[in-house]
A and B are shown apart, each in its own frame.
Chain A
């Protein structure tokens, strides 16, 4: 993989079309300023975001002042990181000091965190310019961004379709060239499924690889922050910037971050063993998705990988297990929204008790999906049902982990379609929770096991012309394998197409 850097720059270049690696190289070389690229992205947001609605909040002043600081550091001759001066969008689940953080919920509307998440501190220290906060399904519950209290985000490929979820805002911002990179969080597929349906790259690092400090918790045993980008190398650069041990997160892994940038540049699958998950095909899968996935697997084989089919029999039970484990953790985590210390409070007229105010506030502040999952979790954890539901789901989680362990004895990585279909239409599944949940069918097992996975574009489905994502899954702490395989596939497909898939997105 080559850094094309300054070579692509010419007078009148559209700075929003550059990758993060190219932007950083141009800033470092003094060919453009951080303020110029930031201004270009703010202008792009102003021009298209009314239609896309990727952003909930644009921090123009904060972004320009961060960009000026980067330019001053460069002029002073300071050494800067590989993403210095690059604009970025942040999913609105990440606490950002002095910037509204809503999680797509009325209950946090107007809340301004008094501290930065560790991810944000690391980005600021690296000279990355935070443009603003992106839309999401409320508290990251959903696969379409329609469960945002502030209205849906639209897929830049077709504005009548969903951009995936929960991190549809971050994926759409990247796909619409409003930001070259973004940070998302992935609890059951919320980085990877939006990447798949928007023709972008998304990575869920190994659980514990990126600090969860300052991320509003959905399901603490499953949540993981990670990069969204238009290229595998950009994802790797962002991955290394935000990853690493954090004493403020007791579930953070105290081990070196795998060398993902090096792996993305190596982009070599020669001799690698790749397993195709047998369970992720067949009924419910769009034929065009399976066709593009199959072709991409053939490409990997041509590149020198050996491909075998791998059986993971308990993956069929991962989705139902997840929809008991996740709501159980949600019902506990969202109990913190009690109308007492921060966030919304309604009905406090002096006559109502704390419990009544709490119940009225939560009824007014949470949307339908949040309420459904809170009650589902409350049920699964209640006495008399605990063993049959939550207890059994935890045992199924063990069986899913064992399937992965057995698979990774045979192969280095697993591959599958990222999601069974391309982007569906806005409104199509919004009041049909079971249909919505199927979007995460292939992504959930990785969260249950805590391993690493990536989605990258593998073509447009011939049946509807929309992007298809290919998922790569690697064992815990082997995140570099994702980038090695993803980098190789991206390069081979780019050679074939003559450009990145995202270049085929219709102009907005």
Chain B
């Protein structure tokens, strides 16, 4: 367990970037303090010796759920696009993804 649960302003900005959240200056300060507090509290789990304990990622031990590969009704194109913020020619219209050439 990392000894320090301190979250710097730069850490919060980095996390926000990874999580695609454009935070205000005030949010960066406020969340930094709160995340540090939460991490300090949950770090208690590091006190337990778990060297021989396997992880549990899911409550049910189900693997390889399969079904017949048959056609069944799905959404129509109109239904799929009905809630889109923007659509064009039967497709989702999105902002530019690639940076423009300099």
Contacts and interface: CB of A to CB of B under 8 A. Distances in A.
Contact of B50 (A350, A356, A395, A449): A395
Contacts of A348: 85-86, 95
Interface residues of B, number: 55
Contacts of A250: 62, 65
Give the size category of A's interface with B: 35 or more
Contacts of B42: 320-321, 323-324, 389, 393
B31 A371 contact: yes
Contacts of A391: 55
Interface string A1-33: 000000000000000000000000000000000
Nearest to A446: B59
Given A115-B75, A374-B19, A399 B2 contact: no
Contacts of B16: 375
A343 B45 contact: no
Contacts of B15: 375, 378-379, 382
Contact of A111 (B23, B31, B60, B83): B83
B48 A396 contact: yes
A353 B97 contact: yes
Main SS class of interface, A = helix
Contacts of A362: 19-22
Contacts of B44: 317, 320
Contacts of A207: 59-60
A321 B84 contact: no
Nearest to B87: A341
Interface in A239-274: 247, 250-251, 253
Contacts of B23: 363, 371
A366 B83 contact: no
B95 A342 contact: no
Interface string B5-26: 0010001100111111111100
B35 A358 contact: no
B83 A112 contact: yes
Interface string A376-403: 1011001001001101111111110100
A314 interface: yes
A366 B19 CA distance: 12
Contacts of B1: 388-389, 392
Interface string A321-343: 10110000001000100111111
B71 interface: no
Contacts of A476: 59
A97 to B, nearest CB: 10
B65 A344 contact: no
A356 B94 CA distance: 12
Interface string B65-79: 101000000010001
Nearest to A322: B42
A399 B19 CA distance: 30
Interface of B: 1-2, 7, 11-12, 15-24, 27, 31, 34-35, 37-39, 41-46, 48, 50, 53-60, 62, 65, 67, 75, 79-80, 82-86, 92, 94-97, 99
Interface of A: 111-112, 114-115, 207-208, 221-222, 247, 250-251, 253, 314, 317, 320-321, 323-324, 331, 335, 338-345, 348, 350, 352-360, 362-363, 366, 371-372, 374-376, 378-379, 382, 385, 388-389, 391-399, 401, 433-434, 447-450, 476
20 contacts: A208-B60, A221-B58, A222-B59, A314-B48, A323-B42, A353-B96, A354-B94, A355-B20, A357-B95, A362-B19, A362-B21, A363-B21, A363-B24, A366-B21, A371-B21, A372-B34, A375-B21, A375-B31, A398-B55, A447-B59
Given A250-B62, A324-B45, 19 more contacts: A112-B83, A114-B80, A114-B83, A251-B58, A339-B85, A341-B83, A344-B85, A348-B95, A350-B95, A354-B95, A362-B21, A374-B21, A376-B38, A388-B46, A394-B55, A395-B50, A395-B53, A448-B56, A450-B58
